[in-house]
Each structure stands twice: as structure tokens, then as C-alpha cells.
Amino acid sequence: MPKLIADPLQAAASPMGAIDSRVAAYVAQSGRSVLPADAAAPETPEARALWSWWRGAAAAGRQPHRNDFDVVENRQLAAHLYLVEPVTDGFRLRLAGEVFEQLFRRRRGHIWRRDDGEPLARAFAGYFDFVTEQAQPYRSLGRMKCEYSDWFSFESLLCPLRHADGVQLLGVAARVPEPGF
């Protein structure tokens, strides 16, 4: 698992941290800020496109179903997509687009366990539990540095979807252009 270094300026930026301890742990471990998707417009075209799709699909007042999302109709998102499904002890990465894999070095099949000895993995599992329970999309923004990359900024949008096996989480992740570049 890559060792991530969170940007300390982002770690305290989440208004959600005081609301739920799982989100607070996620913010503290990942250095990301967390916002409900409807709190502010997404920054990246990929997050805006998924957010627009989710709102349209939820217009009837129900959480969209996984079958409502057609990757062919949303092919511009394919490389940025990731799909997370609950498993007994955490969450498994069911699908990972190329950009997601490049940014986070996570491949299909990766599992974030609730009882993992790695604090970041536990924090992700808690955050996924939170988004699943809230049944609403959440954005996270952050900067990170790891052994395979210098600092970079990114945005992620995570949207819950109904599924025959329960709720799955469909997300996009994209780099946010750095100021001055």
C-alpha cells in the first residue's frame, strides 16, 4: 500500500469533521476536506458530470440504482471512475479506471478493512460507511504526496447507488490544476 503524506493545510479544512467521528478520522488520516456534494459546485469537469448525472437520476426522490448509470453514455468519465462495494469486513474496489489507478495506486480487488492495522485503510472504510448511511454524494478535495509522485491536488466525488446486494459507491477522481501551471 502506498504511503501517503497529507497536506496539513487541508487536514483541518473539513466542516464535516465535527459532525461524524468517521469523517473526522478520514480527514485526519487523508488530509482531505469533505463536503456534501450540494454544498459547493465541483471543481473538475469529471466531478461536475457525475454530480449532474446523479442529481438527474435522483430527481424522482429516490437514490439512483447502479443499473441507471451507463458508462457508454458517460464515456468521458470512464478513466476516472471507481466503484466500491461493501464486503463483510470493509469495502472492495470493484472497478478502477486508469486515472484512479494512476493517482492512488489502487487496483480492482483492493479492500479497505474496518479493522485494518493501517489507520488510513480504517479511515477509508469509515468514510465509505458514512456515505453509504447518508445516502447522499460527498466530495473530497485534497493534496497528497507519496513515494511515486510529488504534491498534487485532486477532487473526488462519491455517489451512493442502490444495488441488488445493497448500496454501492460510484465515484470519480481527477487532478485539480495547480495554480500557476
Domain boundaries in the chain? Answer: 4-176
d(CA 100, CA 81): 7
Count of residues in the chain? 181
| Dihedral over Cα of 175, 22, 84, 53: its sign | negative
Q: Band of the pLDDT at 1, cuts 50, 70, 90? A: very low
- The answer to whether 74 and 92 have CB atoms below 8 angstroms apart is no
For 26-42, the pLDDT digits (tens) are: 888 888 889 999 888 89
pLDDT at 13 over 90: no
In this prediction, residue 120 carries a pLDDT of: 85
Task: Tell me 147's DSSP state.
Answer: T
Q: Say yes or no to pLDDT of 106 above 90.
A: no
Whether the per-residue pLDDT at 19 is higher than 80: the answer is no
- Mean pLDDT within 35-59: 92
Which set of grid coordinates corresponds to residue 56?
Answer: 438527474
Mean local confidence (pLDDT), 137-146: 79
pTM: 0.83
| 86-103 pLDDT, tens digit each | 999 999 999 999 988 888
Q: Which of 145-149, 157-161, 177-181 has the lowest mean pLDDT?
A: 145-149
| Residue 3, pLDDT score | 34
Name the average pLDDT for the chain.
83
CB atoms within 10 A of CB 128: 24
State the Cα–Cα distance between residues 62 and 57, nearest whole angstrom: 8
The residue assigned the cell 485539480 is 176
| Residue 104 dihedral angles phi and psi, to the nearest 5° | -115, -5
pLDDT of 116 above 60: yes
The pLDDT confidence band at residue 149, using thresholds 50, 70 and 90, is: low
CA distance 47 to 37: 9
On the question of pLDDT at 6 being above 70, the answer is no
What's the CATH architecture for 4-176?
Answer: 2-Layer Sandwich (3.30)
Farthest-apart Cα atoms in the chain, separation: 46
Of the listed ranges 76-80, 115-119, 161-165, the one predicted with least confidence: 115-119
Q: Are 86 and 113 in contact (CB under 8 A)?
A: no
What was the pLDDT predicted at 147? 53
